[in-house]
């Protein structure tokens, strides 16, 4: 189950909207994604809206936001984490509502024909933040 925020809830955290003054940052030619730009806590912020669910939509927005806003120093992917297993001892369970902070993102269904196999370490692999 996914909770959908009511319109305006996330935008309410903005101290100032650049869009109101004519967005000074613009966007790359061909970028059709929707963005809100402004200031939160004294920092310039770009909020990108995904057109749909899934990793394809997330990858598309991530690639477009990098080309449209080249000076981004920190990116946060915020969403619902699906399929988080317990650790091998079953001691650390991840529950809905928990905050997970990671050094990278792992595509779980790429190049494997034998089903899910847990990896102990993904350091140095693609997707590392």
Which tens digits make up the pLDDT trace of 36-87? 888 888 888 888 888 887 778 888 888 888 888 888 887 776 766 665 666 6
**β-pairing verdict for 34-40 and 43-49:** antiparallel
Kindly tell me if the per-residue pLDDT of 3 is higher than 60.
no
Given the structure tokens 């477009």, which residue do they identify? Answer: 64
Question: What span, in angstroms and rounded, lies between the C-alpha atoms of 63 and 27?
Answer: 12
Closest CA to 108 of 100, 118, 99: 118
Per-residue CA distances from 98 to 69, 80, 84, 95, 101 (Å): 30, 10, 11, 6, 10
Query: pTM value?
Result: 0.58
Given the structure tokens 């449209």, which residue do they identify? Answer: 68
Q: Which residues contact 61 (CB under 8 A, 6 or more apart)?
A: 33, 48, 49, 50, 51
User: Over the stretch 78-122, which tens digit does the pLDDT of each residue have?
Assistant: 766 665 666 666 677 777 777 777 776 666 665 556 666 656 555
Q: Say if residue 38 is exposed, middle or buried (CB neighbours under 10 Å; 0-12, 13-18, 19+).
A: buried
Query: Which of 120 and 4 is assigned the larger pLDDT?
Result: 120
**Residue 128 binned pLDDT confidence (cut-offs 50, 70, 90):** very low
């Amino acid at each position: 189950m996914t909770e959908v925020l009511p319109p305006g809830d996330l935008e309410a955290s903005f101290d100032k909207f650049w869009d109101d003054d004519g967005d000074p940052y613009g966007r790359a030619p061909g970028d059709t994604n929707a963005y809100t730009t402004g200031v939160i806590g004294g920092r310039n912020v770009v909020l990108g809206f995904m057109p749909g669910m899934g990793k394809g939509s997330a990858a598309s927005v991530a690639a477009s936001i990098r080309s449209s806003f080249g000076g981004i120093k920190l990116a946060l992917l915020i969403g619902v984490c699906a399929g988080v297993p317990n650790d091998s001892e079953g001691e650390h369970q991840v529950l809905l509502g928990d905050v997970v902070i990671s050094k990278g993102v792992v595509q779980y269904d790429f190049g494997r024909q034998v089903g899910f196999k847990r990896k102990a370490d993904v350091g140095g692999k693609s997707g590392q933040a």
